[in-house]
Amino acid sequence: MAEKKQRSIEECSIWDDARQMLKKARQDGVETVWDRLDRQTPHCKFGESGVCCRNCTMGPCRISKKAPLGVCGADADVIVARNFGRFVTGGAAGHSDHGRDCIEALHAVAHGETEDYTIRDEAKLLRIAAEVGIATEGRDLLEVARDLAAEFFENYGSTKNELSFIGRVPEVRRKLWDRLGVTPRGMDREIAEMMHRTHMGCDNDAANTMLHAARTCLADGWAGSMIATEISDILFGTPKPCKATVNLGVLKEDQVNILVHGHNPIVSEKIMEAVNDPALVQLAKEKGASGINLAGLCCTGNELMMRHGIPMAGNHLMTELAIVTGAVEVIIVDYQCIMPSLVQVGECYHTKMVTTADKARFTGAEHVRFEMHNGAAQARKVVRMAIERYSLRDPNRVEIPEGPVEIVTGFSNEALLEALGGSLTPLIEAIKAGTVRGAVGIVGCNNPKYKHDYCNVNLARELIKRDILVIATGCVTTAAGKAGLLVPEAMKEAGPGLQEICGALGIPPVLHMGSCVDNARILQLCALLASELGVDISDLPVAASSPEWYSEKAAAIGTYAVASGIYTHLGHPPNITGSKIVTDLALSGLDELIGACFVIEPDPFAAAELIDKRITAKRTALGLPA
């Protein structure tokens, strides 16, 4: 059989920095995600359509014309629904276990078990505590924090049966959830029940299983993720607009380069402090570097960028390529979305991969366990390790793309409100007038099946042209940033209405709202808008989109968005096409049931058209000009 032709570098990515590094990777003999994708193509059709079941050893089974039922009797609908249920549960578990780590940090701070972390946003602590019913008046701050940690832990248990933030959900939607039986009880409980339901011989009704998938994801959106976001703000500061830079050009040839990758700021914040430790900076200089340079990747990069303007080296498909620069001493990771290949790519250069969480070890990486009481010390250890490795760098193999791009970041809801002058009224008036016709959150990942960032960027461009405000999180941030859309000057690419409001407020037409868990900020914003307008979230002229998604978390986010009433575009479907019932439910049935559904469209221009149509319909229904 003839060897398959490697795809051209131009087909892989729209970016110069990516292409330059892909060329170098090929010269250096480094295998990348695109090479592996080529070898894994074509994918298994049973897996892609969701009709393969491995949930017991009477199988594995595959549904086909010849074998329309699994050994137990499950049909394609049941199998697809079960697989989808477990798929989104993996995503919900990722976010919510991250949220649990945040609660543990808050608990440790509140109980004086650590000196490495502290309350940075006291006002937010008090505000959130009061919101969830904890007395704050005249109480010691740590006492309030103790109660808040305890309250949040209850969201993961079996006894409370109500999420702390349920009050944020418009009442009309809460009632709908109750009617459908999808009001989430406890985060972990929904996860465990989803795993139980999908065991052989439990839930064998596809629609019923899909409803529980929605419930599990709602717990993710309104508890797991939301708790992660709110505690991160309390512990590390609520983001405010600030400037930063993106692309591989943020790496520095004459400095010790350290990359942080993963999701939880608990590790990356300490690394940031350590790189600013004068003694370590001095050590770096002694080793011949002019300083220590920290840059982010993926969502932990978003967290540091949102709060501190730390530069962002790249998104999901740039993580291997960042190492290919040959200029990275250490890459420090916590968990999620970290390609295991990074260990091997690092070994091709002098780059050491350091893992920090017991739940995310990588064979071949060095493990430096970060715990609540030793975060600062461990961070210094890792930074020292990076400095020591600087001398191992081979200058002849270093090549750093030029020209980092400027961005503005830091649009938490608090910051957005401040930019709006303290209330949502200006935004609501603009929406009513049609100056801003609607808003779309473009979120999620890269996937090598797409030309890297082509859809992310073009969809954002198409929407702002149509006077639709775009909110970016996760890996879409870097895409929008590199395209120059995250600065106020990008308003010139926007339609006249959006241009006007961006000009008046001095904000970009694409607002960076954070990491993947921070999609909870978007949920909260939608809920605030709906409540202000006295309507359900599903009545708003808003949508969500994940054009180049790849992860279980993205599927969970999409599912909680839809179940919260937000029309959600995906570039490609999850592995559900083998079931007509599940596919119909996702693409239309849910619209009747829950007021929103998924729409699948790989082309960003066609997707913009579909989203625009939906926003127009919602505007018309609200009696607003189209």
Within residues 273-302, the interface with its own copies by CB under 8 A covers none
In the region spanning residues 41 to 70, those forming contacts with its own copies, defined by CB under 8 A, are 43-44, 46-48, 52, 54-62, 66-67, 69-70
What's phi and psi for 243, nearest 5 deg? -95, 150
Q: To the nearest whole angstrom, how small is the minimum distance from the Cβ of residue 566 to its own copies?
A: 20
Q: How many residues bind its own copies (CB under 8 A)?
A: 102
Query: Between residue 165 and residue 194, which ones bind its own copies under the rule CB under 8 A?
Result: 181, 186-189, 191-194
Question: How many Cβ atoms from other residues are within 10 Å of residue 131's Cβ?
Answer: 14
Q: Does 459 bind its own copies (CB under 8 A)?
A: no
Site for its own copies in 100-159 (CB under 8 A): 100, 103, 150, 153-154, 156-159
Is the previous residue joined to 265 through a cis bond, with omega within 30 degrees of 0?
no
Q: Does 196 contact its own copies by CB under 8 A?
A: yes
The only residue of 9, 28, 71, 136 in contact with its own copies, by rule CB under 8 A: 71
Tell me whether residue 332 or residue 490 sits nearer to its own copies (CB atom): 332
Out of 27, 40, 391, 588, point to the residue binding its own copies (CB under 8 A).
40
Q: Which residues contact 23 (CB under 8 A, 6 or more apart)?
A: 9
Report, in Å, the least distance between residue 534 CB and its own copies: 33
Stretch that binds its own copies, among 270-278, 341-349, 454-462, 558-566 (CB under 8 A): 341-349
Residue 303 within binding range of its own copies, rule CB under 8 A: no
Q: Position 195: which residue type?
A: M
Amino acid at 210: M
Which CB sits closer to its own copies, 116 or 334? 334
CB of 457 to its own copies, least distance (A): 20
Binding mask 531-550 for its own copies (x = CB under 8 A): ------------------xx
Q: How far is the CB of 505 from its own copies (least distance, A)?
A: 37
Is 360 or 417 the residue whose CB approaches its own copies more closely? Answer: 360
Burial track 136-175 (b if 16+ CB lie within 10 A, e otherwise): beeeeeeebbbbbbebbbbbbeeeeeebbbbebbbebbee
Nearer to its own copies, 69 or 617 (CB): 69
Touching its own copies, residues 591-620 (CB under 8 A)? none
Contacts of its own copies in 204-263 (CB under 8 A)? 204-206, 208, 212
What is the largest distance, in Å, between two alpha-carbon atoms of the chain? 76
The verdict on 454 binding its own copies (CB under 8 A) reads no
H/E run at residue 225: helix 225-236
**Which lies closer to its own copies via its Cβ, residue 58 or residue 135?**
58
Which tokens hold the place of 313?
């080296």
Minimum distance, C-beta of residue 317 to its own copies, in the bound complex (Å): 10
Using CB under 8 A, pick the residue from 359, 422, 496, 592 that binds its own copies. Answer: 359
Contact at 8 Å (CB) between 485 and 508? yes
Tokens of 523: 């949920």
Closer residue to its own copies in complex, CB, 227/472: 227
Tokens found for residue 438: 């609607």
Burial of 344 (0-12, 13-18, 19+ CB in 10 A): middle
Residue of 20, 96, 499, 568 that binds its own copies (CB under 8 A): 96
The answer to whether 344 contacts its own copies (rule: CB under 8 A) is yes
Q: How far is the CB of 151 from its own copies (least distance, A)?
A: 11
**In sequence order, what DSSP letters do the residues of 458-526 get, joined into one string?**
HHHHHHHHTTEEEEEEHHHHHHHHHTT-SSGGGGGGS-HHHHHHHHHHT--SEEEEESSTTHHHHHHHH
- Residue from 135, 202, 504, 621 touching its own copies (CB under 8 A): that is 202
**342 belongs to the binding site for its own copies (CB under 8 A):** yes
CB-wise, 99 or 410, nearer to its own copies?
99
Of 17, 203, 303, 453, the one binding its own copies by CB under 8 A: 203
Residue 587 DSSP SS3 = helix
| Distance of alpha carbon 463 from alpha carbon 331, whole angstroms | 35
179 close to 593: Cβ distance less than 8 angstroms: no
Q: Give the C-alpha separation, 290 to 293, whole Å.
A: 9
Distance between CA atoms of 284 and 397, rounded to whole angstroms?
20
Task: Pick between residue 97 and residue 121 the one whose CB is nearest to its own copies.
Answer: 97
Stretch that binds its own copies, among 82-90, 407-415, 486-494, 537-545 (CB under 8 A): 82-90
**What CA–CA distance (Å, rounded) separates 370 from 350?**
23
Q: Which two tokens stand for residue 457?
A: 């960027």
Between 40 and 391, CB nearer to its own copies? 40
Cβ at position 470, least distance to its own copies in Å:
23
Three-state SS across 75-96?
CHHHHHHHHHHHHHHHHHHHHH
Q: Which residues contact 370 (CB under 8 A, 6 or more apart)?
A: 266, 267, 270, 334, 356, 357, 378, 379
Phi, psi values for residue 246, rounded to 5°: -135, 155
Nearer to its own copies, 198 or 412 (CB): 198
User: What phi and psi, each to the nearest 5 degrees, are found at residue 516?
Assistant: -65, -45
Using CB under 8 A, which of the segments 38-46, 234-242, 385-393, 617-625 binds its own copies?
A: 38-46
Q: Is 93 in the site for its own copies (CB under 8 A)?
A: yes
Token duo for residue 79: 């199998």
Sorted by sequence, the CB contacts under 8 Å of residue 192 that are 6+ apart come out as none
Convert residues 17-36 into a mask of x (bound to its own copies by CB under 8 A) and - (unbound): ----------------x--x
